[in-house]
Structure 1
């Protein structure tokens, strides 16, 4: 899926949209039912529709995708399905535009949103944010797997606009940095040799590298000049701010999925480095 400039900025910075209808909204497949004879990990949870976890879900591979039958898959989708199973809830994924998902949660039309939503201070003002599910780090795409930024800065570098690291890269590389509106354009220049290194989020980079043999994605080594290499974004689940009990359940269920190895299993399934799911700290990015 092509990531536009506004699309990535919505992920990185948290767009505040109040009182909007869910534009581009369509129902996905019928709600998936939990197992019978189920005992919830947290009894008495309140949801928009009793017995169902309503999920606002924009299509954004590899985090959320929809099949021809409307069924949701992807990293975030599978995490939420696993949480719903733990809570004996059905899941009802509603396909929305990216900028409409958080407002759907904010207004109480959805319980949670999925789609690699960053945990930011501005977003935390309007919705609850679960503990982090994974890091969405700075991925370096090259032929030789280079990861140290001083070496990268000696090469022709391109990145997609809107990411957290772009302003810092501009300060270091100036006009030599090539900035693209989408990762499709960046990959075209990588394959044509017009740039030697591309910079994208690790999960998205690994998704595209899988279809482009010979390219490697490495995690950028920390460099104080590039803040995102030192403190990567963390993705969580936005939930209705007033539903504190749901927030507690999400946090404890995510912790169980991590300790059981289920998060790593989901990442491996989607060809993303499972180390991204091994979050050891908890913070909000300033935005």
Structure 2
């Protein structure tokens, strides 16, 4: 009897394993059976610690994707620019960290279906909400944002470029700037939760045709190895499911953001 039960148990386990394997798509990854993710610390989009632990909005997306496709998650925590290079060099499968879907990025990488909208924010002591009210002011933004070129056309020599948001915030606090242009989501989160930007009003920029970021805000995506069709197809399917079942919206809401930013519209790339 014991032998019979053991045989049935073995058969049951084998059938379940075969069924589980059948549900798993064949996805090309850097290390077979593993999903290597390059990440950097950018709360609340990604909380990343040196030991490789990641949580936050983007990690929730890739963790669900890994689970959906029977992949073991392996994380690499590094500087922002290094995450992209890690994928380009074939050392990681994905890069996360609220990356915008841009024309330049898709020249060297492939980008997933959109996750959420990344609105442009206007940072000032005066509480500016409209671009028109700022055009004669001392303005600043950070190198790398896709709205830089539009701002340069509008502000000319009145626009100063900074290497980091911290440097911009210091000049804004010291009245060396009148207005700064940074991401709305990250700034509002850090002001509310970490005491960043004291005395500064952070407003979502109202639409202005001169600054395309205010008219068609950039969509964010997970970056992955260019040409990896099996990975991209499965990733997009998982993201679609997370939009459809509301799990992505709940994750957005849990960090204090308006879940409406998950209403991304048709996929697009910004210049």
1:186 pairs with one of 168, 179, 189: 168
Secondary structure (helix, strand or coil) at the match of 2:267 reads: coil
Query: What residue in structure 1 maps to residue 252 of structure 2?
Result: 267
Q: State the shift of 1:284 in Å.
A: 1.8
Q: State the shift of 1:224 in Å.
A: 1.2
| 1:91-106 correspondence to structure 2 within 5 Å | 91-106=73-88
How far apart are the structure 2 equivalents of 1:67 and 1:234? 26
Structure 2 residues without counterparts, runs of 5 or longer: 1-16
Structure 1 residues without counterparts, runs of 5 or longer: 1-35
Q: State the shift of 1:156 in Å.
A: 4.6
Query: What residue in structure 1 maps to residue 133 of structure 2?
Result: 151
2:36–2:73 CA contact under 8 A, matched in 1 = yes
Which moves more between the two structures, 41-50 or 52-61?
A: 41-50
Q: Deviations over 1:135-179 (max 9, x none)?
A: 222112245754222223365533223322222223222333343
1:126 pairs with one of 108, 122, 147: 108
Q: State the shift of 1:246 in Å.
A: 1.6
How far apart are the structure 2 equivalents of 1:193 and 1:41? 59
Larger radius of gyration: 2
Secondary structure (helix, strand or coil) at the match of 1:218 reads: strand
How far apart are the structure 2 equivalents of 1:124 and 1:101? 15
Q: TM-score, normalised by structure 1?
A: 0.75
Q: Deviations over 1:223-254 (max 9, x none)?
A: 11112222222221122233212211111211
Query: What residue in structure 2 maps to residue 113 of structure 1?
Result: 95
Change (3 A) 1:194 1:108: closer
Secondary structure (helix, strand or coil) at the match of 1:102 reads: helix
2:110–2:226 CA contact under 8 A, matched in 1 = yes
| 1:5-20 correspondence to structure 2 within 5 Å | none
- Please state which structure has a larger fraction of its residues in helix: 2
Secondary structure (helix, strand or coil) at the match of 1:271 reads: coil
Query: What residue in structure 2 maps to residue 16 of structure 1?
Result: none
Residue 222 (structure 1) aligned with residue 207 (structure 2): yes
| 1:40-189 correspondence to structure 2 within 5 Å | 43-67=25-49, 69-142=51-124, 146-153=128-135, 155-189=137-171
Q: Deviations over 1:105-151 (max 9, x none)?
A: 23432221112223233332333211111222211224575422222
1:40–1:86 CA contact under 8 A, matched in 2 = no
2:146–2:270 CA contact under 8 A, matched in 1 = no
Secondary structure (helix, strand or coil) at the match of 1:108 reads: coil
Q: Deviations over 1:176-228 (max 9, x none)?
A: 33433321122223333443432101222223322245544332122111122
Change (3 A) 1:194 1:134: same
Aligned residue pairs total 251
Secondary structure (helix, strand or coil) at the match of 1:275 reads: helix
- The alignment's C-alpha RMSD in Å is 2.8
Q: TM-score, normalised by structure 2?
A: 0.79
Which moves more between the two structures, 87-96 or 185-194?
A: 185-194
